Structure 1
């Protein structure tokens, strides 16, 4: 059989399946990590044969694209999806993927507008997911289309964020409201520090730009707990639910999360965290500095600089034992506690002016307990406060 004939037959078969209603939208929940409430659903295509066999999109989307049938498929799915989503509570959003070939300025915007009007679906509830690939071929046309979608009220999500080379640049050029962290980073976050750094950076970037951040592909409670610690607010994945039919999505919205599974998310903003640290720096009679794992000073309060007799600008990038030479041997002593996994005991440090500080050293760790450095916290003490009631000094050197 000639390739052209084979392609024509494949195209006609796929078109018939669309007309017969064999393609259906399935819905995967996107939840709040704070209380596990379902915030919305991502719509995903499934083919269900007359025999009841369910086929995932990876088995038919490439053929649909080669056959030029993606627009027909999308229209069929939208009609079904909008009907179902219209029965959800008003605050629930529907998220829908758009392929690169559909951002060509021909039918997408008008198709979405017309279908939403027909089924009385508020486009403010529709989230359009795009990938960086969709922008590479013709950025000007894609930008025009995305801006038109945003102008209709849709929110725009950058899918698979962090995997491309220019993703950050697109955020400046396009009306993006949501970042979706690619599942590859979630899968490796428990054992790869670089993945955790990327996730933390994306969460911080989202906060600074007032964007929602959704972690994709969350499959274990350990991943969810780490994301909570990082401060990510939203997630989707098999841990919270596989893609389900429209009827099951309605039942899922009526289900109440088990209270024992609820956790609080670390919701402090970057500004709030900075304010907390600034407040610590300003406490009278206290000094604070941060060291990296090699014991190099990366930040220090003015009070710390004053207590050790250095200019603040000269402290950064100095080893701590360069700044306080008398403490070199003490640092080796503390190393023994670190190797044994024991907390560091507070101890007295005699400073150049003859006064003493009670110093407490704590480990600074990331969400996987990997060492990021040390916090050195000093409190100016009188002789009486440096002693237990028995008069025995606290770890004086």
Structure 2
């Protein structure tokens, strides 16, 4: 359950507990909280009988097309006595009182029945709590609940956090394999917030990764967050698992994610959770599409090897220098021009290689900071190695922040 999807906290039950707890001897907070919880559990049972806990639907969109690929299904409940009850309040109570299965069955069936009347090949995603996911009866309950409505099982998805598999990885894998064998996708939710997410990815391969919204919200101000987001997207590409960025609230965030080649996004920018009656107009406005697997890119090492092969064959020497004008990466041709081994170049200041080039690079860096074009020039290579034509371009991240300079060096005929 995500913060942006939750209604305001109710005064109802929690207000009663705060008002009466600790008011005299023998009426401690624990007693009042237990009585309060019993009342909530009784209200949940009544709500399930009367169907007053209802599903809400938040769209997950394909970033490049804007089409809706999935709806995350969220539980909404307003009780006549307690008022609006956020899921973070009543779902744990349901779990502690043995009502989790009935609650899940009710939400799954209600959502699938509603979605039968909507056109499109979108998926429905359901949050399954760690406790419920570890229940051996959960896969059968999920399958039966969906099939009872006639909604296609292979258009459903289960979202779990990594805590759902801690302690019983073998049981979690059995449950996941049973569901995946029926066409149900398994998504790792809130990726990046746990201490062992990579371990879980290795032990229990997921079909999809949901990037926690805390990284998305800080992308505009934090280079570290942008690097983490880019790394997670790259990880998803390597694994062939689409990445959904959560908590997207601004056009700037969506544009940055698209530049990073993120697949899908979810957040208030694209729509808040809405009742079933409001979904058809949303689908009409945006359109729907199938939730497709990510294109599987080569691993980072494979891609670097491919790029190196291209650079090695090209008659161009390439080097990247950071804002301090230290060499971050150079291809073999540049190393040969400098008369040095590539490993010896990495991390060295450009001034150590050629003091004259260092002064010019400072000027180029200032041009880049001001957004001015950098004209090509002749570079007289150190140690009398001849002359070359130098093309310099600013290297920027997806937010437009200057990272350094990219240099392309072409030897001039007759100068070598």
Give the TM-score band, short-chain normalised: 0.7 to 0.9
Q: Which residue of 1 aligns with 2:336?
A: 306
Q: Which residue of 2 aligns with 1:130?
A: 160
Q: Which residue of 2 aligns with 1:146?
A: 176
Q: Which residue of 1 aligns with 2:250?
A: 220
Q: Which runs of 5+ in 1 are unaligned?
A: 258-266, 385-397
* Among candidates 185, 188, 196, match of residue 166 of structure 1: 196
SS at match of 1:180: strand
Q: Is the 8 A contact 2:318 2:406 kept in 1?
A: yes
Q: 1:54 to 1:278 in 2, by over 3 A?
A: farther
- Written as runs of structure 1 = structure 2, the 5 A alignment for 1:20-59 is 20-49=50-79, 55-59=85-89
Report the Cα distance in structure 2 between the residues aligned to 1:354 and 1:192, rounded to whole angstroms: 42
Q: Is the 8 A contact 2:169 2:204 kept in 1?
A: no
- Written as runs of structure 1 = structure 2, the 5 A alignment for 1:53-202 is 55-89=85-119, 91-202=121-232
Q: Which residue of 1 aligns with 2:16?
A: none
Q: Which residue of 1 aligns with 2:281?
A: 251
Report the Cα distance in structure 2 between the residues aligned to 1:253 and 1:277, rounded to whole angstroms: 45
Q: TM-score, normalised by structure 2?
A: 0.82
Report the Cα distance in structure 2 between the residues aligned to 1:357 and 1:83, rounded to whole angstroms: 69
Matched, 1:9 2:39: yes
SS at match of 1:358: strand
Q: 1:373 to 1:64 in 2, by over 3 A?
A: same
Q: Is the 8 A contact 2:240 2:297 kept in 1?
A: no
Report the Cα distance in structure 2 between the residues aligned to 1:339 and 1:153, rounded to whole angstroms: 51
Q: Is the 8 A contact 1:24 1:48 kept in 2?
A: no
Report the Cα distance in structure 2 between the residues aligned to 1:105 and 1:36, rounded to whole angstroms: 37
SS at match of 1:75: helix
Q: TM-score, normalised by structure 1?
A: 0.85
Q: 1:7 to 1:228 in 2, by over 3 A?
A: closer
Matched, 1:359 2:390: yes
Q: Which residue of 1 aligns with 2:401?
A: 370
Aligned residues: 373
Q: 1:175 to 1:48 in 2, by over 3 A?
A: same
1:140-188 per-residue CA deviation (whole Å, 9 max, x = no partner) reads 3333222222223211000000111110111111131000001111111
1:248-292 per-residue CA deviation (whole Å, 9 max, x = no partner) reads 2222222247xxxxxxxxx995679755675355322x2111122
1:101-157 per-residue CA deviation (whole Å, 9 max, x = no partner) reads 102334311111212222222221111000012122433333322222222321100
More deviation, 66-75/29-38: 66-75
SS at match of 2:323: coil
SS at match of 1:190: coil
Q: Which runs of 5+ in 2 are unaligned?
A: 1-26, 288-294
* Among candidates 283, 286, 301, match of residue 314 of structure 2: 283
- Shift, 1:5, TM fit: 5.4
* Among candidates 187, 207, 210, match of residue 240 of structure 2: 210
Q: Is the 8 A contact 2:136 2:175 kept in 1?
A: no
Q: 1:205 to 1:332 in 2, by over 3 A?
A: closer
Q: Is the 8 A contact 1:103 1:141 kept in 2?
A: no
Report the Cα distance in structure 2 between the residues aligned to 1:332 and 1:109, rounded to whole angstroms: 62
SS at match of 1:62: helix
SS at match of 2:274: coil
More deviation, 354-363/156-165: 354-363
